[in-house]
Amino acid sequence: MNNTLVNGTYSCSFPSIGSLLATAEAGNLNITQLVQSCPNVCSLAWGTGNPDLSGIGANVSYIMQFVSIVIFGPLFVAIYGYGKQGHLNPDSLEFWKELQDTFLDTSAQFTIPVTVAAVVRLHQSPPFFEIAFLQSLTTMQFLGLFCTAIATGVAMPKKRSIRRVLVISLYLVVDFGFYMGVVGYLRTNKASWTTIKQLASACGEYSQLTPGFVYIQTHKLSVGTGIQGFKNFLNPFSKGGWIIFGLTVAAIAGLAVTVVVVFAIYQCLRSRSPWVLGPMSLGFFGGTLYCMILLERKRQVMKKVTGSDFQDNQWGFGQVMALFLWAPLLVQSLYYILGNLFLHSLPCSYLTWCDGSTVTLFPRLKPRELVSTDRACYRCRGCHRCAESGESSRLMENIELAPVDAGVHPAMPPTRTTPRTDNETTTGIDSETYHGVLLEINSPAVRPTPESNPVPTRVAPDVEVLPPYAAIESKDISDSDKFD
């Protein structure tokens, strides 16, 4: 800055905003005249941005975090509560729960370092814009972490609920501790508070970026010295005695309130009730939304005021790294979404045997290695379309039938090594409509051919179809029973 004199005494060359405030605290500085003579004082006080804090890449990361808070906060509670009523299948619910767990861990491991960095930066006398931005940022992330943590309770598994609640509580306690360090920095003395207000008034265009400094008047307690001071300290009816008594009661009450709040949060998380967790998560989300609006507004005001000197739109190493913070969450989401679409687009012949809830995502079996198309169509996820489209009959061509235990599949036809030629019937089987090869239990597999043994084209309506959970384990199918 230029070395212009103010009132013939003061120079415009202040090395930092801290030195300006220190000079103002001495009572020998007129802020209004200083700003009129040295316009660069406003730029010194508010800075021109900090790419490491509010750069374009970091800001996009904050926006992605906020959008994820919307999805995995109150919206997650609504979706999971709706799905638990039978409107969504268990696979979809498990998908949402795993994504929510991943986001909560990622968000906590991002929020806590940001809060720690904010505490460190605030003790370096940063410009006012950085202080105001950090205030909104840490508050937004703190409330967002609570919003997401409470939403976790709706899908909290019983077997690991205590362990998971302890981990979530650790996240919240650590972040709360450092956040209190940020809030504590905003407390200042009367001289600095007055100087900051005068600077905001003189630098009119910067007034919207004034940090939320708070001045709390303190009173010195004089209890005397020596024996008389000790007596005054112990006297419960003296001013000092009442203050000590009040502080003791306040500490006990604060501890009791903390225990009650932690216990209430624990019980809410274990309740798994959307009607309890939903409003709580929505309330924290309201505060998160308000702080996010303030965050973006402060950045836009700073960009408008500084113009071409604004540094936060410059890409750098840290800006690119900030974007990849959410890569694991995005990859996991794409894995589930694309994998689910891929499975539902496969024909029955590409699905291996499953246990009713899982299926091989990238199957290794060839199309002809399917053992029983009709049963697989009703047992494997997304494969019921085969029976509806009539694809099962076509896929049975050149398929080797494997031996099956009759106790597992009571609706299987009677067992023989030769095809039936008479009208003999068995319970649940219409011999006139069933033309397949009937095998003996545990007999070697027989390969049917279109010439000698026609493929089954239709099964009688009274044949029981296996539900998805009535699985035939893959161990019943030996390697010798498969085609090369």
> Which residues have C-beta within 8 Å of that of residue 363, sequence separation ≥ 6?
346, 350, 351, 352
Among the ranges given (125-139, 206-220, 424-438), the one the predictor scored with the smallest mean pLDDT: 424-438
Torsion over CA of 297, 299, 301 and 302, rounded to 10 degrees?
Answer: 160
Residues 53 and 127 in one domain: yes
DSSP state of 401: B
338 lies in a domain? no
Q: Which of 312, 298, 353 is nearest to 482 (CA)?
A: 353
Q: Is the per-residue pLDDT at 481 higher than 50?
A: no
What is the mean predicted confidence (pLDDT) over 263-286?
78
Q: Is the per-residue pLDDT at 225 higher than 70?
A: no
Residue 455, domain extent: 346-484
Q: Which of 162, 175, 129 is nearest to 17 (CA)?
A: 129
- Per-residue pLDDT of 332-353, as tens digits, reads 888 877 766 665 555 544 444 4
The answer to whether 64 and 329 are in contact (CB under 8 A) is no
Q: Let me know if 410 is exposed, middle or buried by CB neighbors in 10 A (0-12, 13-18, 19+).
A: exposed
Q: What is the pLDDT of residue 30?
A: 77
What is the mean predicted confidence (pLDDT) over 300-326?
82
Residues 361 and 420 in one domain: yes
Name the most confidently modeled range: 245-259, 272-286, 435-449: 272-286
C-alpha distances in Å from residue 267, one per residue of 45, 153, 217, 263, 272: 47, 9, 39, 6, 9
What is the mean predicted confidence (pLDDT) over 413-432?
46
Q: Supply the pTM of this predicted model.
A: 0.63
Residues 240 and 286 in one domain: yes
Residues 28 and 60 in one domain: no
**Average pLDDT for the chain:** 68
Residues 10 and 148 in one domain: no
Give the CA angle between residues 155, 473, 404 to the nearest 5°.
145
Query: What would you report as the CA-atom Rg of the chain, rounded to the nearest whole angstrom?
Result: 36
246 lies in a domain? yes
Q: Is the per-residue pLDDT at 306 higher than 90?
A: no
405 lies in a domain? yes
Residues 182 and 262 in one domain: yes
- Per-residue pLDDT of 131-186, as tens digits, reads 889 999 999 999 999 899 888 888 776 666 677 778 888 888 889 889 988 888 88
Cα gap 33→157, rounded to integer Å: 65
In the chain, the percentage of residues whose pLDDT exceeds 70 is 56
Number of helical (H) and strand (E) elements in the chain, helices listed first: 18, 4
39 or 385: which leads in pLDDT = 39
Q: What is the pLDDT of residue 399?
A: 41
456 lies in a domain? yes
Torsion over CA of 34, 206, 202 and 15, rounded to 10 degrees?
Answer: -20
Q: How many domains does the chain have?
A: 3
281 lies in a domain? yes
357 or 425: which leads in pLDDT = 425
Residues 329 and 414 in one domain: no
Q: Which of 458, 455, 445 is nearest to 398 (CA)?
A: 455
Residues 199 and 311 in one domain: yes
Residues 300 and 430 in one domain: no
- Per-residue pLDDT of 62-117, as tens digits, reads 999 999 999 998 888 888 877 777 666 777 778 888 888 889 999 998 999 999 99
The answer to whether 441 and 484 are in contact (CB under 8 A) is no
End-to-end CA, the chain? 83
